[in-house]
Amino acid sequence: MTALREKPKAISILMFVAWVSFFILAFHSHAFAADRPNILWISCEDISPHLGCYGHPQATTPNLDTLATQGLRYENAFTVTGVCATCRASIITSMFPSSLGNQFMRGSVDLPDHVRLFPSYLREAGYYCTNNSKTDYNITGNHSRCWDESSNKAHYRNRKSDDQPFFAVFNIKNTHESRIFNYRRPENLKNDEFHDPALMELPPYYPDTDITRRDWAHYFDNITSMDKIAGDILQELEEAGLADDTIVVFWSDHGVGLPRAKRWIYESGTHVPLIVRIPQKFQPPGQAEPGTISDELVSLMDLGPTMLNLAGIELPDAIHGRAFLGNSRSEPRQLIYTIRDRMDERYDMMRAVRNHRYKYIRNYQPFKPYFQITNTMEREHTMKELRRLHALNMLQPAAAQFMVDSKPLEEFYDLKNDPHEINNLIDQANQDDELRQNLDSLRRAHIDWVFETRDTGLIPEAELARRGKLLGTRFAILNDDPDHGRELLERLLATNRMACSPKTVTPLVEAYQDPDPAVRFWAITGLGNLRTPSPEALAAVRQGLADPVATVRVAAARAAWQLGKPQLSLEALRLAARSDEEFLSLSAMHVIDEMKDQRDDFMEVIRWVDQNGKGYPVRIAKYLLSQNTP
């Protein structure tokens, strides 16, 4: 009987504990929501800071202009690269893609264990994270794994409780470059909101024609259309009663979707708009007050750490990004670093570093032209105009200088007096103390950055993929053994410099004896660039054609052709072009494209790649076949 009488008492105690727990959890949930802001991102594609709030006279962007008056506008925000996938990789990981090995367009990689996609930290802290809907992170696996919801229906209103804080991303696609060369009149614009091509002011590196003016007008039409969509997103937030609880961030994934902008690391390709509105109750002291403008240097790679900081979440240690807002704000950047590697089907390698006024660019493949043929870019009307007028020798100097067959080893610009980066001051710096001091400082900063971030760019992509597979990640190649990684970088930098500006045969022949295939690749590339068919050089090239690593054999085939022995190159290139390794095949197709006088010797393999290849090599095969058509 005693036990029976005690049971209701026990149940009452359990019910009391349950009710107390419920109220504690409910209170905690409300407190959590009250203490931590919601975060809403509005991202768009392929625009520079061509908004009214940035003072651009041709822009019609009333909604984003209003947002800027309510928050903080950054004058000096930059992407890490000039193209979407690699830029988004840097944002989602807060890391330089060149450290992870995914600096190549659509070159997805496995991440090392310590690198996480930053929304996962917000989810762990209780945030409901949604992405609507672009991923394109240049990483393997499920791109949606860091989101509660990632689709074109993803929305913060889908969370189960209104008390749960959210991080929501809305990506507006209608400013993408394809909306210029496949232009359709935006349906949300009135007739008087379209831009008159005759009134457009073109950058000096474009020819002034009806076609280029029309492209520029369509670009601004799309921006106005995007602004209306952004306004709808902001209005929806307001109507939901969430504007006073939500940090809003607007940004673009890189610069203008036109030639010498998108895919490039000039200002036109990496300088982007960035606006941050923080409700008063979440504003850190002295930060992001309405209507303020900042000239602080910011990289979009910093977005993730900044959101974590604003949400009160501790930043992970092993990231390159910094928090530019929040109670634990990082030291402001003094320099911005940008990178360019393979863009679509064409290899290149450029690195840049800038301070508030000057910019230094190092071209690691100066023997390649600025405007290599790429499938997507060649569809652009402005690109067609550049090629047409170049063929007629009718381009103005500012445009013509980017149509040449090679690039300088270094570029150096005064951005204050030359914002379009037309006048390379690399030679003038030798006669001017201020220029020389800034040039030397930026050169040193660039080399320091290469070592600090363990830049993998000088390892050919096919070789990078091979080693990454052996070690588990590409990041491990230069980081598993730091001393070995540094020594390898030193040899790569030295050999690349010889390859870019070769003077004598012997140092390159000696470098070819290096145990690392990437160093041998650059040594044999340099022997070809030297174009001195000495017995010593030819012996090294023949040795290279039998190298155990296929990437080196392809470089040796190119060198054999450059040294006047094209018949030596045929077998190596035919085998590599047929490889099922996409980027080995691509490197071979590059060389076949260069060897224009030998095109007939490769027609069979070109057709084979066109019919049986995969990925980017097929694009080059189709281009070569189109050139062979009468």
Q: How far apart are CA 398 and CA 436, in angstroms?
A: 24
3-state secondary structure of 101: coil
The catalytically annotated residue of 84, 87, 129, 500 is: 84
Nearest to 491 by CA among 461, 513, 476: 513
Q: How far apart are CA 128 and CA 229, in angstroms?
A: 23
The DSSP line for 444-505 is HHHHHHHHHHT--TTS-HHHHHHHHHHHSSSTHHHHSSHHHHHHHHHHHHHHHHHHHS---H
Catalytic status, residue 146: no
Phi, psi torsion values for 628, nearest 5 degrees: -90, -5
User: At a CB cut-off of 8 Å and minimum separation 6, what does 139 contact?
Assistant: 89, 92, 93, 102, 108, 109, 110, 111
User: At a CB cut-off of 8 Å and minimum separation 6, what does 427 contact?
Assistant: none
Residue 276 tokens read as 């941050």
Radius of gyration over alpha carbons of the chain, in Å?
27
E strand spans, 96-244 = 128-132, 149-150, 166-172
Q: How far apart are CA 36 and CA 311, in angstroms?
A: 6
Nearest to 571 by CA among 542, 596, 597: 542
3-state secondary structure of 386: helix
Phi, psi torsion values for 219, nearest 5 degrees: -60, -45
How many beta carbons lie within 10 A of that of residue 38, not counting itself? 24
Q: Are 99 and 475 in contact (CB under 8 A)?
A: yes
* Catalytically active residues, by annotation: 84
